[in-house]
């Protein structure tokens, strides 16, 4: 462990780096253990990029350590390209979470963008609370087709007869 370098740094590390500085610009919290390049326990800690390579993301956790860059290996200078290290155990999968989030979000949006009367989904939210439907269903104002994201399930007579669309109130 080279966490001792954290103490050696003396806490005067400013985010200011040289011209080649590619680090995060934000202030680094003092007191985090610092690892030299290639010395961090990989099964426990990983940078954001390393997590990403495994299909993971930090998932809201705070970094628990920082990693000095390769060029600073063996040197005692302050590293201007420190990378955050996150706990692998607390990391979350990237893809699944994003997808789940998107699905949930889309479901919420669909509810606000779909007219309950004509079943068309619009690209913008509808005044469902005030009008209860799209403008066309409300007072006959023709809808700009460009505003329709998904067309209505077409009033297919055959489908209506066999009542395959349970939520359609076209029985009368
Ligand atoms: Zn460095
Ligand atoms: Zn409508």
Q: What share of the chain is helix, strand, coil (3-state, %, to 5)?
A: 30, 15, 60
For residue 171, report the distance from its CA to the centre of ligand 2, in Å: 17
More confident residue, 172 or 57: 57
For residue 138, report the distance from its CA to the centre of ligand 2, in Å: 7
pLDDT tens for residues 96-123?
667 778 888 889 999 999 999 999 999 9
For residue 23, report the distance from its CA to the centre of ligand 1, in Å: 10
Where a domain ends, among 93, 122, 141?
93
pLDDT tens for residues 16-36?
433 333 444 455 556 889 999
Does one domain contain both 75 and 143?
Answer: no
Strands 34-35 and 121-122: unpaired
For residue 44, report the distance from its CA to the centre of ligand 1, in Å: 22
Average pLDDT estimate for 68-95: 90
Does one domain contain both 64 and 129?
Answer: no
Average pLDDT estimate for 60-65: 94
pLDDT for residue 169: 53
Identify whether 8 is part of a domain. Answer: yes
CB 3 within 8 A of CB 33: yes
pLDDT for residue 126: 94
Does one domain contain both 48 and 9?
Answer: yes
With a CB cutoff of 8 Å and minimum separation 6, the contacts of 110 are 121
pLDDT for residue 68: 93
The separation between CA 122 and the C-alpha centre of its own chain, rounded to angstroms, equals 24
pLDDT for residue 93: 85
Does one domain contain both 69 and 126?
Answer: no
For residue 102, report the distance from its CA to the centre of ligand 2, in Å: 25
Residue 92, φ and ψ in degrees, nearest 5: -120, 150
User: What does the alpha-carbon distance between residue 123 and residue 91 come to, in Å, rounded to a whole number?
Assistant: 35
User: What does the alpha-carbon distance between residue 87 and residue 74 come to, in Å, rounded to a whole number?
Assistant: 24
Domain, as residue range, for 44: 4-17+26-93
Structural domains in the chain (count): 2
Does one domain contain both 71 and 126?
Answer: no
User: What does the alpha-carbon distance between residue 100 and residue 78 come to, in Å, rounded to a whole number?
Assistant: 41
- Ligand with smallest separation from the Cα of 5: 1
Check pLDDT > 90 for residue 145.
no
- Ligand with smallest separation from the Cα of 80: 1
Give the model's confidence band at 164: pLDDT under 50 very low, under 70 low, under 90 confident, else very high.
very low
Which residues have beta carbons under 5 A from ligand 1 (an ion)? 69, 72, 79, 81
Per DSSP, 87 falls in state E
User: What does the alpha-carbon distance between residue 120 and residue 154 come to, in Å, rounded to a whole number?
Assistant: 10
């Amino acid at each position: 462990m080279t966490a001792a370098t954290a103490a050696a740094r003396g806490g005067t590390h400013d985010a200011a780096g040289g011209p080649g500085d590619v680090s995060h610009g934000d202030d680094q919290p003092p007191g985090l253990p610092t690892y030299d390049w290639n010395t961090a326990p990989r099964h426990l800690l990983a940078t954001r990029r390393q997590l990403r390579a495994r299909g993971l993301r930090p998932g809201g956790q705070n970094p628990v350590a920082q990693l000095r860059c390769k060029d600073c290996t063996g040197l005692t200078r302050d590293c201007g390209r420190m990378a955050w290290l996150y706990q692998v155990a607390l990391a979350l999968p990237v893809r699944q979470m994003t997808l789940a989030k998107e699905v949930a979000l889309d479901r919420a949006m669909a509810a606000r963008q779909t007219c309950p009367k004509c079943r068309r989904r619009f690209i913008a939210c509808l005044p469902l609370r005030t009008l209860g439907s799209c403008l066309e269903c409300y007072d006959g104002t023709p809808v700009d087709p460009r505003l329709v994201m998904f067309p209505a399930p077409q009033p297919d007579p055959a489908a209506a007869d066999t009542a395959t669309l349970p939520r359609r109130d076209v029985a009368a």
